[in-house]
Amino acid sequence: MLQIGKYLIFLFFSFVALFFLRFRIKSASQLLYTASTLLFVLYVTIKGIVVGEIEFLEIAFAPAVSLIIVLATKNVRFDSLQFFLKFLLFFSLGVNFLQIALFFLIGRLPALAYSDSYSVRFGSFLDDPNGFAALCFLLIGWVYFSNLKNRRLILLGLIVSLLVTQSLTAIGFLILISFFILFFGGNFARASLVFSCLLLATLVLIFWEQILPIADYLISSKSQSIEEHLNHENVGFDLSILSILIGSNDILFVESGWTYLFLNFGIVGLSLFSTMMITLLFSLKKYIKTSRDVKEKAILWGLIIYCLYFIIGMLNLPFVKVFPINIVFFLISTSVVFLRIESVISGGNPPIFKRA
């Protein structure tokens, strides 16, 4: 029932939004994004009906609903976004640390955990470590560039929450961001990163005997997981020209999101999805260049880091079919293409995301 309920809620909002659609294309990027999204949704839906696979319909659902909702939106108040992010931040951190406390105090296990093992992955209110890790990057980007009080402490809490997801994809992306900060960040960012690494190294040395058996177990278990993610040899893909163009006749399951799109929807589906992503990245680049306000940039950097993690993380995880990460991503990406921030004006009104 919960699986059906989440789709019914968004279908209801989409039905209401249809009465408020403002379908006005004002730029080449909007036209390209709209066309590629509609063609991708139509193609995936038709293939889902022909193959008889409901999972394909679920993949088409997120971009379709997001496009309808955003096109029906005149503007989004900036203070509402700030409130939402603050609520998401403290709610997710609160739930996650409550789960961790309950685990250590009474042995309560989260959803993805095994008793009498070190494989205990925490996913906050989502109970999904990979999905929660994606939300962590949205919040990390926003908090890092914001002027929130105690932001260093909050960032530490987010990084700890990200690490206890035990998601190799997320941890790898965090390391990638760290290298970026090291080479391109300011002096403060570099000093903070070096200090954090030294502190972590010191703690590892102090608790080496306790950490070693845990590290051995996690490396062993993750090695098996990596092999499963990289093993695409036995998926049964037919290397015919037709299959390469439009995908397999039957649904094929692989962990990599990009590989999943190619195997099931061929070059046609992969090209349409890639066009959406390229348009999004160009829109984000243009957005961050024209933004001047610190609070605006904080939100934009949160969106950028989240979108980059989604796109890069798809190399290893099938985010395109993971709810609610996919619906959040497409709502963000569609909003970036169609809405712009209207800065504070002399009347004292807060800035808003408004139809471009």
How far, CA to CA in Å, does 37 sit from each of 30, 260, 336?
10, 18, 14
Q: Is residue 38 part of a domain?
A: no
Report if residue 280 sits inside a domain. Answer: yes
Any domain includes 8:
no
- Residue 12, domain member (yes or no): no
State the Cα–Cα distance between residues 309 and 167, nearest whole angstrom. 12
Whether 114 is in a domain gets the answer yes
Which pLDDT belongs to residue 272? Answer: 93
- Which residues fall within 8 angstroms of residue 265, CB to CB, at 6 or more apart? 43, 44, 47, 246, 247, 273
- 107/116 Cα distance (integer angstroms): 10
103 within a domain of the structure (yes/no): yes
Q: If pLDDT is split at 50, 70 and 90, which confidence band does 244 have?
A: confident
On whether residue 11 sits in a domain, the answer given is no
Q: Is the dihedral of CA 266, 269, 275, 281 positive or negative?
A: negative
Instruction: Give the pLDDT band of residue 43 (cuts 50, 70, 90).
Output: very high
Write the DSSP symbol of residue 349. P
CA distance 195 to 141: 19
The pLDDT of residue 167: 82
Place of tokens 């979108």: 307
Q: Which residue in this structure is represented by tokens 């000093």?
A: 191
Q: How many residues does the chain have?
A: 356
Mean predicted confidence (pLDDT) in 308-324: 87
Q: Which of 226-240, 253-267, 336-350 has the highest mean pLDDT?
A: 253-267
pLDDT beyond 80 at 346: no
Mapping DSSP to helix (H, G, I), strand (E, B) and coil, where does residue 121 land?
strand
Number of domains in the chain: 1
Residue 184 in tokens: 């391109």
Please report whether residue 32 resides in a domain.
Answer: no
Domain span holding position 96: 52-355
**pTM score:** 0.79
